[in-house]
Amino acid sequence: MKTSLSDWYEMEKRRIVAKCRECGLCARKCPIVPKTDLINHKPIAIQSAVKKFLAEGCESDIVRTRAFSCMECFGCCEGVCPEGLDPLRVHEIIKHEFRRKNPDTFPRYDTRDPNLTHRILASIQVTAAEYRRIFTPKTPPNTRRVFFPGCNVYFQPEKILNALDVLAAVDPEIAFLPGLDGCCGDCHVWYGDPDRADAVSDDLLEKVAAVNPETLILWCPTCQCRLEKTLAPVKRPGAEIVSLPQFLSRNLDKLPISRKNGRSVTLHEACKASLTGLDPEGPRPILAAVGARLTEMDRHGKNAACCGSGTIEKFPDACRQMRDERLAEAGGTGADTLVTVCHFCNQLFHTAPGRQPFQVENYINILAHAMGIEREDKFRKYAHWADQIRIMADARPLIAASPFSKEQIAQTIARVFVA
């Protein structure tokens, strides 16, 4: 009999209540705690409040902040609990309990919403033909591999197009399952709704199973962590799961790299993929292949640092502190380019105020350029402009072809790039 994610959470909750010693070691190690009001509470008191909530339902600002400030790095506190409990799971269960008590206080989110911000933004950055391409499944017969980009990268659609073109150089028969029409369930777990996460992840895995690939290639580090960590106890695809950097690193000999750039770069890796060990190398072999000279930041690999994006909704001040610390660390390397892996990190760094002493660029765009593939990063340009009128003027031809109204587009530009 299939176990649901919510049933598994219930079993985990009982285990946490039975085994938690309230030692506070997880709160002591958590990098976001000192950047919230929790800094005024002792770690033991924080964890005592958490256990009391799980055991008796006693709500408090401490418990709320502890759960909702969690950046979901997946591995930042891994192994710290003497009882082998996972602090991330604790926070997800707390969110689920809060949602059950107060369902109307959580946002309603559906990646299939035809008016989703992601879709509107994508429509003003790529041509109508390119827009259709990133939303159209491709399932060649007898394919051995399938690529799934996830959802949030649709804010920056040229990265999906570049990934598709780079993958085609390795294997033109790679299947493509568009994001937004499929979902790993992360956004629903994030908002405390494991039942919805179950439903959408089941749908995605059924689509993968219909292709029957040997390898599932994921653009998004969060999708990889959700499938390998959150969902693994109750479900997983039959295919091998790899990140796009892992897949491309295995197949560098098939990529027609014609340009060596010789850049001095530093790398902000996907923290969760590094901290969990799911993708410890990231795009390092790719950067070496294109001739980039890498200088590591002090915090990298198993000590990688988060950009802070996980706190952007509930604790924006903490998010800004985390972001600015990471940007300062990158600046200290003297590199002329900060390379990102995750689109969300890329997005957050581009929307930082002021100019950095380096350029921020995603690894897939660097690789595409090295292969002679040229696409403008319009999200970066628009984020730096932060000017609604100027962006609307620049995007005018694409706005005319967009399936969305000019009013919808104007509101979206103001919300994403100006607010």
pLDDT in tens, 36-70: 999 999 999 999 999 999 999 999 999 999 999 99
The pTM assigned to this predicted structure is 0.96
Given this model, what pLDDT does residue 16 score? 96
* DSSP one-letter code for 116: -
Q: By CB neighbour count within 10 A (0-12 exposed, 13-18 middle, 19+ buried), where does 254 fall?
A: exposed
Overall fold of domain 117-252: Rossmann fold (3.40.50)
Given this model, what pLDDT does residue 403 score? 97
Report d(CA 41, CA 62) in Å as an integer: 8
Residue ranges of the domains in the chain? 5-105, 117-252, 257-370
Decide if 26 contacts 76 (C-beta within 8 A). no
Given this model, what pLDDT does residue 76 score? 80
Report d(CA 314, CA 335) in Å as an integer: 32
316-331 and 343-350 are packed helices; what angle lies between their axes, rounded to 10 degrees?
A: 90
Report d(CA 6, CA 15) in Å as an integer: 14
With a cut of 50, list the residues of the chain below it in pLDDT: none
Provide the strand spans (E) within 245-336: 264-268, 293-294
Given this model, what pLDDT does residue 105 score? 77
Given this model, what pLDDT does residue 416 score? 95
Given this model, what pLDDT does residue 132 score? 98
Given this model, what pLDDT does residue 1 score? 55
Residue that the structure tokens 């995750």 belong to: 342
Report d(CA 77, CA 232) in Å as an integer: 19
Two domains, one topology: 117-252 and 257-370: yes
Query: Length of the chain in residues, anyone?
Result: 419
The phi-psi region of residue 157 (left if phi > 0; otherwise alpha if psi is between -120 and 50; otherwise beta) is: alpha
Tokens of 261: 């750039």
Overall fold of domain 257-370: Rossmann fold (3.40.50)
Cite the DSSP H helix spans in 41-86.
43-56, 61-68
